[in-house]
Amino acid sequence: MRKLLGIIALTVFSIILFLTAVHLRSFGSPPHAEMDKYFIEHAQKEASANNVVTSVVFDYRGFDTLGEATVLFTAVSGVLMALRHYGGRKK
């Protein structure tokens, strides 16, 4: 039963990935670029900043940056929690 399920899952995922690979653009040609064009044309007016990369990172995709900051916070608190044992022994 488990083997059958595994074979079915393998087939389905292989078909999906194969279809995706067939519909990829050929190597070297640019991907769909509607959003790029929008950013380049409107970033100076809407975000009033010269650096389009920063206006994408902090304005249009600011939620992603919030997640990145959370990842850093989690890493720092993990390190402090793992090493607090050694630091607190003498103090």
Partner 1 sequence: MTTVIIRTMTRILTPAILVFGSYIILHGHLTPGGGFQGGAVFASGLALLIIAFSRKRVKEMFEKVPLSVFESIGALGFLGIGLMGIVMYTFLRNFIANSGAPFGMPTPEGINPGFLNTGGTLPYLNIFVGLKVLAGLTSIVLILFLILRREENE
Name the site residues for partner 1 (rule: CB under 8 A). 44-51, 53-55, 57-59, 62-63, 65-66, 68-70, 72-73, 75-76, 79-80, 83, 86-87, 90
The least distance separating partner 1 from the CB of residue 31, rounded to whole angstroms, comes to: 23
Q: Structure tokens of 80?
A: 């402090």
Asked if residue 51 lies in contact with residue 59, where contact means CB atoms within 8 angstroms, the answer is no
Residue 14 or 51: which CB sits closer to partner 1? Answer: 51
Q: 36 or 68: whose CB is closer to partner 1?
A: 68
Smallest distance from partner 1 to CB 83, Å: 5
